[in-house]
Homo-oligomer: A and B are copies of this chain.
Amino acid sequence: MPDSPVPMPSLGDHEHAVLAIDVGGTDIKIALVESDGSIIGLRRVPTKVNGEHTVATVVHTVAREAKQLAVDYPTIRPAAAGVIVPGIVDEEAGVCVYARNLDWHNEPIRAQFEAALSLPVAFGHDVRTAGDAELQLGAGTGVRDAMVVVIGTGIASAVFVNGSPVVSRGFAGEIGQNRVASTVYSAAVGDGPAAPTLEEIASAGAIARRYAEQSGEQVQGSREVLDRMLGGDPVASRVWNEATSALANCIAQAAGMIAPEVILLAGGLALAGQHLVEPIERHLDVELTIQRRPQLILAQLGGDAGLIGSALKARALAAGERTP
Total interface residues on A, CB under 8 Å, equals 51
Contact pattern, A 141-175, Cβ under 8 Å of B = 1, otherwise 0: 00001010000000001010110101111011111
CB-contact partner of A259 in B162, B169, B176, under 8 A: B169
A6 CB contacts on chain B under 8 angstroms: none
Q: Which residues of B contact A189 (CB under 8 A)?
A: 181, 183, 186, 189
- Choose from B172, B183, B197, B289 the contact partner of A190 (Cβ within 8 Å): B183
Contact of A257 among B175, B190, B193 (CB under 8 A): B175
- Measured between beta carbons, the chain B residues less than 8 angstroms from A183 are 189-195
A287 close to B (CB within 8 Å): yes
Are A181's CB and B166's CB within 8 A?
no
- A55-63, A108-116, A247-255, A266-274: which lies at the interface: A247-255
Contact flag A256-B290 (CB < 8 Å), given A161-B166, A181-B180, A195-B183: no
A162 CA to B249 CA, complexed, in Å: 26
Q: Could you tell me if A195 and B169 are in contact, using CB atoms closer than 8 angstroms?
A: no
- A179 lies within 8 A of chain B by Cβ: yes
Is the pair A258, B256 in contact by a Cβ cutoff of 8 Å? no
Residues of B within 8 A of A161 (CB): 161, 166, 168
* Residue among A181, A260, A261 having the largest count of chain B Cβ atoms under 10 Å: A181
| Chain B residues, Cβ within 8 Å of A176 | 256
Whether, in the assembled complex, A292 has its beta carbon less than 8 Å from a beta carbon of chain B, the answer is: yes
Alpha-carbon separation in the docked complex, A161 to B172 (Å):
10
Contact of A172 among B174, B180, B257 (CB under 8 A): B257
Cβ < 8 Å to B, chain A residues 178-235: 178-183, 186, 189-195, 197
Complex CA distance for A171 and B161, rounded to whole angstroms = 12
Query: Which residues of chain B come closer than 8 Å to A168, judged between CB atoms?
Result: 145, 161, 258-261, 292
Residue of B whose beta carbon sits closest to that of A246 = B181
Interface residues of A (CB under 8 A from B): 145, 147, 157, 159, 161-162, 164, 166-169, 171-183, 186, 189-195, 197, 249, 252-261, 286-292
Top 9 A-B residue pairs of the complex, sorted by shortest distance between their CB atoms: A181-B181, A181-B195, A171-B259, A168-B259, A171-B292, A178-B256, A172-B259, A253-B253, A177-B256
In the complex, 5 of the A-B residue pairs with CB atoms within 8 angstroms, ordered by the A residue number, are: A161-B166, A171-B292, A179-B249, A181-B195, A183-B193
